A and B are shown apart, each in its own frame.
Chain A
Amino acid sequence: MYNFTFHRPTTVRQAAGLLARNPEAKLLAGGHSLLPVMKQRLANPPALVDLSLVEGMSGVELKGRSVVIGAMTRHADVANSKVLQEAMPGLAMVPGSIGDPQVRNRGTIGGSIANNDPNADYPAACLGLGATIVTNKRRIAADDFFTGMFSTALEEGEIIVKVMFPIAKKCAYEKFKHPASGFALVGVFVSKRGPDIRVAVTGAGSNGVFRVKSFEEALKKRFAAKSIEGMTIPATGMNTDIHASAEYRAHLVGVLARRALAKAAA
């Protein structure tokens, strides 16, 4: 890892100021994506701005008809949140499936979605629930936030403060976990909130997380695995690597969507 200067602001304003003065700086949340990449020298930011001392950036709260999760909330704390378990257990399945226990003790929701790894779990939950990403500057709908592999709508100096998830009566996440990395080879988040039905897929698409409109359409009649029985999606645009072919990933999308629907109904 190349060396850098290290900053620990205590307010979002200070953090934004540091980013403005150090345009090449990176924000450090849990560090479980950024530090490994820096160790491999794939990233060499001259400055890191650690958000862990910034007050008010972590916690899980119920606000009206939404669950609001602070950007610095660790995966383990989201997965174990009583508030979330009661309001929307389907969302708690997502952080509970990330990495391993030690990774979940450090990694954060804000870090995960800002990084937008094409195999990360949280992007599927954000898109699959129509979440709103709140930054120090504006609110961004999940539909507009994830713009491609490792890229987001975040602008220079923009800091994710919290994520608001509208509460869906029925929702669930199912993933095929890569046995070594713990990332989703494919992961599918399904939700039904009134007439709004969403099926979001991570891990499969070569352009990152995406929605499966054909499944969503078919689920309008009945939000159940049966409604998409036998349905498939084309393998074009799917990732291919040593772990799984595009065809296999496309196949998994159907299988995992049906499993997630069965879970959501349970």
Chain B
Amino acid sequence: MPTVSMTVNGKPVTGDVEARTLLVQFLRENLRLTGTHVGCDTSQCGACVIHIDGIAAKSCTTLALQCEGAKVTTIEGLAEANGPLHPMQEAFREHHGLQCGYCTPGMIMAALDIVRRRGNDLDDHTIREQLDGNICRCTGYHNIVKAIKAGAKAMAPGGASRQAAE
């Protein structure tokens, strides 16, 4: 069985996996990082979004072996254990950007990628357009958009709760 090594949330990890193991399976089943979800398993819903070398990707459509040597960040890697939430997580809490919460980890990881690409000052239209790859079946997106707008602002240098994004 092939061995894969990568850095997940700052920690080096190694595992023996079948070649067909998806990154999301490796994260959830080998590493027990179950914050990354599987919604559709067909690259549509975005519940499985994580970052590979700082760039958002769907972990249900990526093989673990494709991430050999990569730096992977999941929702668990955003805040320190028992520390304050990441500003984007805090914004989702504050603005109630969720109901059942299933899509939320993917939403937050996608939101951070929007900030990476589009900066801290986001308008509603941009956010809605850039959330094309993330589906929420509860909220109608209204509070998610509000949360991302506020979270992006808070992440800005001099923002309310500045904290290193990753």
Binding site for B on A (CB under 8 A): 1-6, 8, 28, 31-32, 35-36, 38-39, 48, 50, 52, 99-103, 105-106, 180-182
Contacts and interface: CB of A to CB of B under 8 A. Distances in A.
A101 B113 contact: yes
B19 A31 contact: no
Contacts of B20: 1-4, 38
A100 B132 contact: yes
A156 to B, nearest CB: 22
Contacts of B66: 28, 31, 50, 52
Interface residues of B, number: 28
B61 interface: yes
Given A3-B19, A39-B41, A180-B44, A106 B62 contact: yes
A175 B116 CA distance: 27
Interface in B15-62: 18-20, 41-44, 46, 49, 55-58, 61-62
B124 interface: no
Contacts of A5: 19
Nearest to A182: B132
Given A35-B61, A36-B61, A103 B19 contact: no
A4 B43 contact: no
Contact of A105 (B19, B42, B55, B132): B55
Contacts of A102: 43, 46, 49, 56-58, 110, 113, 133
A103 B49 CA distance: 10
B62 A99 contact: no
